[in-house]
A = this chain, B = another copy of it.
Amino acid sequence: MIIVMEAGAHKENVDRVIAEVESLGYRAHPLFGTDRTVIACLGDERGKERIQTLDSLPEVERVVPILRPFKLSSREVRPETTIVDVKGVKIGGKALVVMAGPCAVESREQILEVAHAVKEAGAHILRGGAFKPRTSPYSFQGLAEQGLKFLAEASQATGLPVVTELVDAHQLDMVQDYVDMIQIGARNSQNFFLLSSLGRAVKPVLLKRGMMSTIEEYLMAAEYVVTNGNGNVVLCERGIRTFETYTRNTLDLNAVAAMKKLSHLPVTVDPSHGTGRWDLVPPMCYASVAAGADGLLVEVHTHPDKAVSDGPQSLKPEKFQAMVKTLRAFAEAAGRTL
């Protein structure tokens, strides 16, 4: 931490800050500049936020943190990329992983039909929501446990592992009985109670970025899971909220390249939520892989105009298949296989 005093700060206030810093177990190192006195605090500042509160002391202008606050998810502590195994499908290695399926499980027929279609088109993991967090209480909220059963059946019929969203920590055991990976949605990305509970999950976690989470906050959310005991976390950029209205969100591919550098966790991209428009999904799939993504999460629906949610951003199976085909060339250019 660096503590910046106000211009013309009095000696007794500088001394008081130094005393407080040292009482917290740091070494204080004052630097007397032309315009300001600055106090450098030496010691591992992570997890010790008491120093931050010193900016309410008299004549302190601000406190500037120096270290990034995440530790276990950082590449500094683990240089090689973590490979997460989802029932045999490995995310984070040379092979790209494509996860696809409908936004919501709507019926047994629907999920079986889509599962077969995405498998044939080249997907490696099936996605589908049984518990749906919806902006409106009047919207379809998901089939709940019945949806999980349909997902499990679709998994068995196709051999594809399945990933589905968890919204309540108390349902973790029930959900992980049916599926192979637990998804945490963007709206729960700072639901720290839910994140902490995943430490005891036996299944890997697909953690979506919150639509208002900075990269640093997002990696801190991953840290909640890892530090509670589950290191099998897959990151997923899904677009952030900005002033732009033509697209549903702004897909932040800078973050993909940045997180590949900052963290050892595998990074995937969801261009369906990231754009909100099916016609922009294929180019953003290619761009994601070019930016360094380890995998994709794509919404596919056999009848998007009849979908109970997110139809406008779902690809039909034939367009999905064409996308995967074109994707191969980009995967190769990126030194990956598909």
Contacts and interface: CB of A to CB of B under 8 A. Distances in A.
A169 interface: yes
A66 to B, nearest CB: 5
- Identify which of A40, A214, A291, A332 gathers the most chain B CB atoms within 10 Å of its CB: A291
A246 B214 contact: yes
A11 interface: no
A312 B196 contact: no
Copies of this chain, tallied across the complex? 4
Contacts of A247: 254-255, 258
A212 B252 CA distance: 16
Contact of A240 (B64, B244, B279): B244
A143 interface: no
Interface stretch (A109-117, A130-138, A154-162): A130-138
A75 to B, nearest CB: 10
The prevalent SS among residues of A at the interface is mixed
A290 interface: yes
A253 B293 CA distance: 15
Contacts of A153: none
A216 B244 CA distance: 9
Interface string A39-73: 01011101101101111110000001011010000
A287 B291 contact: yes
A4 interface: yes
A284 B253 contact: yes
A188 interface: yes
B305 A280 contact: no
Interface in A274-315: 274-275, 277-280, 283-284, 286-292, 304-312, 314
A261 interface: yes
Contacts of A307: 53, 56
Interface of A: 2, 4, 7, 20, 29, 31-36, 38, 40, 42-44, 46-47, 49-50, 52-57, 64, 66-67, 69, 76, 131, 133-141, 167-170, 187-188, 190-193, 196, 210-212, 214-217, 220, 223-224, 227-228, 239-247, 250-258, 260-261, 274-275, 277-280, 283-284, 286-292, 304-312, 314, 326, 329-330, 332-334
Given A133-B190, A284-B253, A54 B242 contact: no
A67 B290 CA distance: 34
The 3 closest A-B pairs by CB, nearest first: A47-B138, A53-B311, A212-B212
10 contacts: A31-B42, A36-B66, A212-B212, A215-B246, A240-B243, A241-B243, A242-B242, A250-B254, A253-B284, A286-B333
Contact of A290 (B36, B168, B290): B290
Contacts of A258: 246-247, 277, 280
A133 B189 CA distance: 12
In this complex, the member of A40, A135, A239 whose beta carbon has the largest number of chain B beta carbons within 10 angstroms is A135
Contact of A253 (B31, B57, B287): B287
A253 B253 contact: yes
Nearest to A246: B215
A39 to B, nearest CB: 10
Contact of A283 (B56, B187, B291, B311): B291
